[in-house]
Amino acid sequence: MQLAANIHLLVLITLCVFTGAQAENSELSESTILLNAFSESGPDLQWFVQNDTVMGGRSEGGFRIVDDRLVFSGITNTNGGGFSSIRSRRFAKDLSAYSGIKINVKADGRKYTWSIQTDATWRGRRVSYWADFNTTANTGEIEEITIPFTEFYPQFRGFKLDGPELNKNQITEFALYQYDKTDGPFELELFSVEAYAE
């Protein structure tokens, strides 16, 4: 009788632990949403290239997909626009429940810029929201970088604006820039793009 009671108690404890672990995993999964991964089964924001050549600049840049990552590389030339970028195709995401963007990268130690676009306008022109982030050079390890939405500021053609504020429930595009006003080669490997909640 005592043995049966002990077994019953052990089963109950095991169920409680398992249920708790499930709840914890559920909370962890709800704290992020995967927006782009570079595998056949992952979500794809459909990136394309836009360099400063559109405004008479001389920078070169592009990307390629290698295994499970996007490799963004080129050469910036500040005698002109001074930037290279990749941009996503237009999409519609409500990220109002999240705190910011999280990316996993390997890079070269240069500063990069993540850009968000919505339908917001300034004097009839669409604005974008920029936030710079630093990278660590050639560690060989994947670096997790979080960029809070509060760090994004509105800008138009490189000029910082006072508003409008970023509306997280009408995000329509992302972009990744190399625009640190430095001449020379760059390379950043992008493994994933997520939105995270604190």
Q: Are 47 and 21 part of one and the same domain? A: no
Q: Which two tokens stand for residue 182?
A: 């430095």
Residue 171 has pLDDT above 50, yes or no: yes
Same domain membership, residue 102 and residue 177:
yes
Q: Do 69 and 14 belong to one domain?
A: no
Per the structure, how many domains does the chain have? 2
> Above 90 in pLDDT, residue 136?
yes
Res 20 pLDDT > 80:
no
* One domain for residues 68 and 87: yes
Q: Are residue 6 and residue 86 in the same domain, yes or no?
A: no
Shared domain for 189 and 175, answered yes or no, is yes
pLDDT averaged over every residue in the chain: 88
Q: Are residues 57 and 152 in the same domain?
A: yes
Least confident segment among 15-24, 97-106, 141-150, 169-178:
15-24
pLDDT score for 24? 37
How far is it, in rounded angstroms, from Cα 58 to Cα 76?
8
Among 150, 34, 5, which Cα is nearest to 93's? Answer: 34
In this structure, the answer to whether residues 89 and 24 fall within a common structural domain is no
**39 & 18 share domain:** no
User: In the prediction, which pLDDT does 26 show?
Assistant: 36
Which has the higher per-residue pLDDT, 133 or 21? 133
Distance in angstroms (rounded) separating the CA atoms of residues 131 and 160:
11
At 52 the pLDDT is: 95
Please provide the distance, in angstroms rounded to a whole number, between the alpha carbons at the two ends of the chain.
Answer: 49
On whether the CB atoms of residues 98 and 145 are closer than 8 A, the answer is: no
Least confident of 123-127, 138-142, 185-189: 138-142
Calculate mean pLDDT across residues 8-19: 40
Of 11 and 182, more confident = 182
Confidence label for 181 from pLDDT (cuts 50, 70 and 90):
very high
Structure tokens that stand for 156 in this block = 């138009």
The predicted pLDDT at position 14 comes to 41
Percent of the chain topping pLDDT 90: 77
Confidence grade of residue 193 (pLDDT, cut at 50, 70, 90): very high
Question: What is the domain range of residue 8?
Answer: 1-30
pLDDT reported for residue 49: 98
What is the share, in percent, of the chain residues with pLDDT greater than 70?
85
Average pLDDT over residues 138-167: 94
Q: What is the mean pLDDT of residues 48-57?
A: 93
Asked if 62 and 24 sit in the same domain, the reply is no
- Same domain? 176 vs 160: yes
Q: 18 and 96 share a domain?
A: no
Residues 36-52 have pLDDT tens digits of: 999 988 899 999 999 99
Give the CATH number for residue 120: 2.60.120.430
